Chain A
Amino acid sequence: MWRPGPAWQDEDQLARAWRAARPFPHLVFDDFVPAGALPELLAVLEDEPVERYEGDIFVFEASALEPATPALRAVRDAFASVLSPPLSRITGRPLRRADMRAYAYRVGHYLLPHSDHQEDLGRAVAYAYYLPSPEPPSGGELEMFACRAENGELVSTDSARLIEPAPNRLVVFEVSVVSLHQVREVLDGLRISLAGWFYP
Chain B
Amino acid sequence: MTTLEQLFGGRTAVVVPEVVGPALAARTRERFERAGYTRYALLDRGSYDVLPDPEEPELFGPLIEIAARTTSRSLVLAEVRALRLQPGDYLLAHHDRIHDGHPVELVLDLSPASVPGAEVHYRRRGQVYFRAPGAPGSLAIVERGPTVSCNHTYVTRRHAAASIVRLVMLLRDG
Contacting residues, chain A, for B156 (C-beta < 8 A): 108, 185
Minimum Cβ distance to chain A for residue B153 (Å): 7
Contact digits for A144-172, partner B, Cβ 8 Å, 1 yes 0 no: 01010000001111000000000000000
Cβ–Cβ contact B43 & A113, under 8 A: yes
Minimum Cβ distance to chain B for residue A126 (Å): 16
Cβ–Cβ contact A56 & B44, under 8 A: no
Instruction: Knowing A157-B41, A157-B42, A187-B157, say if A56 contacts B88 (CB, 8 Å).
Output: no
Cβ–Cβ contact A108 & B92, under 8 A: no
Interface residues of A in 98-116 (CB under 8 A from B): 107-108, 110, 112-115
Of chain B, the residue at the smallest CB distance from A147 is: B44
Of chain B, the residue at the smallest CB distance from A145 is: B43
Beyond A108-B117, A108-B158, 20 additional contacts (C-beta under 8 Å) are A56-B92, A57-B92, A110-B154, A112-B43, A112-B90, A112-B92, A112-B154, A113-B43, A113-B44, A115-B44, A145-B43, A157-B41, A180-B43, A180-B44, A182-B43, A185-B154, A185-B157, A185-B158, A187-B157, A187-B158
Name 26 A/B residue pairs within 8 A (Cβ), A-sorted: A56-B90, A56-B92, A56-B151, A56-B153, A57-B92, A59-B154, A107-B158, A108-B117, A108-B156, A108-B158, A110-B154, A112-B43, A112-B90, A112-B92, A112-B154, A115-B44, A139-B157, A154-B42, A155-B42, A157-B41, A157-B44, A180-B44, A182-B43, A185-B88, A185-B156, A187-B158
